[in-house]
Amino acid sequence: MRVERVETFVLKTPLGAERFYSSQAEFPERNSLLVRITTSDGVTGWGEGGQYGPAEPVKTCIDEVLAPQLLAIDDASPGVVWERLYAGIRDFGSKGPYIEAMSALDIALWDVLGKSLGASIATLMGGRSRERVKAYGTGGYYDTLDFDRHRDLARLATVVERYADEGLGMLKMKIGLLPIADDALRVQTVRDVLGDDFVLFADANHAYNASSAIAMGRVLERADFQFFEEPVPPEDRRGYARVREHLDIAIAGGEAEYTRYGFRDLIAGDCVDILQPDICVTGGISEVRNIVALATTNNLRTIPHVWGSGIAVAAALQVCSWLPLVPYTHRPVPVQNEPIIEFDRTRNPLRDDLLSQSFVLQNGYIEVPAGPGLGVEVDMDVLERHCVK
């Protein structure tokens, strides 16, 4: 299989009044970098690179460096290509846009391979352990920098009630922008509104140092949250280990980590209970497979991070279909040992409108497309509408 053409697409969509904040940034728009590869047999495959950083550096890495190399490889199978391309960039690009660019190409090559063989990516990875994956909603962001208890707790309550009405039974809310005492009120509001049976997680986007994270973690434990995501900056491995040592709540992280080498160090540092590789960031499907091998070796769960377009969701669904239970039990329990999928609920037309058939929540689950490759089709009219020329 030889690649004849590689095309990149920078997609952007402004959020207008629906802009929001995490602890780190304002989000006035959503963007995605998509890649389409076409083989000499005329088979096309789609991939996505990066999560929310600027798409242009990833595009440049593909257009100027990786695509010319890919076009010269006779057997463009994903496993062959990954090692070849990584060998060419490891000296100067082992994290960041280069790996995000490799992620996009790798996902597209798996899509092509699946379409060539008439099998879904999960099938090619080793099999479909599940045909549907339990989804957790990501939401409960901040819509203002000025926290007003009366106004903003009521708004938060309205938003999370809507998620429950959609049929979700699991939610990840944002923390870390405000003083711990104010975020504690938000945490308790969400618990009170959704009730004791709702499964809750919290994501600080690395807002804290270790001692603040431990204080916040105790708040989350009192409200019976099940994991605490990115408590400290990704570089602070000792901080991660200290937080994990002092808290009972599971510590999650890894969306800002790259390749098996990065996850090797995260695991060796006793940083996390739950690995969250983003397939569009960490090196694609080929590299997630390697990361999951490390995770299972250490009896750690993997719950992929997903925050991109419909292509990112499709790739994560294929991986989640294949992911093993960690550890195995005869009766799997979502989160406890069975993988779940992140389903961002903030506005993103690139997620909801880009594919010919969008993903639908049914009783809190999303079906894994059974068609070949990623099992999805891109609506080219929608893509053109959001494409930056």
Q: Which residues are catalytic?
A: 305
Which residues are CB-contacts of 127 (< 8 A; sequence separation ≥ 6)?
322
> Six-digit token pair at 319?
């991986």
| Smallest distance, Ca ion to C-beta of residue 172, A | 8
CB closer to Ca ion out of 48 and 203: 203
- Alpha carbon distance 45, 144 (integer Å): 40
Which residues are CB-contacts of 207 (< 8 A; sequence separation ≥ 6)?
23, 24, 175, 176, 177
- Alpha carbon distance 97, 61 (integer Å): 7
Contact range with Ca ion by CB under 5 A, out of 151-159, 201-209, 245-253, 341-349: 201-209
Could you tell me if 354 and 103 are in contact, meaning their C-beta atoms sit under 8 angstroms apart? no
> Six-digit token pair at 377?
């089709």
CB closer to Ca ion out of 84 and 237: 237
H helix and E strand count, the chain: 14, 15
| Smallest distance, Ca ion to C-beta of residue 44, A | 31
Contact range with Ca ion by CB under 5 A, out of 143-151, 197-205, 330-338, 371-379: 197-205
- In 3D space, the residue among 54, 109, 36, 55 whose CA is nearest the CA of residue 78 turns out to be 109
- In 3D space, the residue among 323, 310, 237, 238 whose CA is nearest the CA of residue 280 turns out to be 310
Number of chain residues interacting with Ca ion (CB under 5 A): 1
Q: Which residue's Cβ has the minimum distance to Ca ion?
A: 203
Based on the shown chain and the rule CB under 5 A, indicate whether residue 100 belongs to the binding site for Ca ion. no
Contact range with Ca ion by CB under 5 A, out of 58-66, 89-97, 149-157, 200-208: 200-208
| Smallest distance, Ca ion to C-beta of residue 13, A | 20
- In 3D space, the residue among 385, 378, 388 whose CA is nearest the CA of residue 310 turns out to be 378
Contact range with Ca ion by CB under 5 A, out of 2-10, 103-111, 198-206, 310-318: 198-206
| Smallest distance, Ca ion to C-beta of residue 277, A | 12
| DSSP tag of 64 | I
Based on the shown chain and the rule CB under 5 A, indicate whether residue 342 belongs to the binding site for Ca ion. no
Which residues are CB-contacts of 353 (< 8 A; sequence separation ≥ 6)?
379, 382
Based on the shown chain and the rule CB under 5 A, indicate whether residue 257 belongs to the binding site for Ca ion. no
Based on the shown chain and the rule CB under 5 A, indicate whether residue 203 belongs to the binding site for Ca ion. yes
Based on the shown chain and the rule CB under 5 A, indicate whether residue 278 belongs to the binding site for Ca ion. no
CB closer to Ca ion out of 255 and 287: 255
CB closer to Ca ion out of 22 and 286: 22
| Smallest distance, Ca ion to C-beta of residue 196, A | 25
Binding site for Ca ion (CB under 5 A): 203
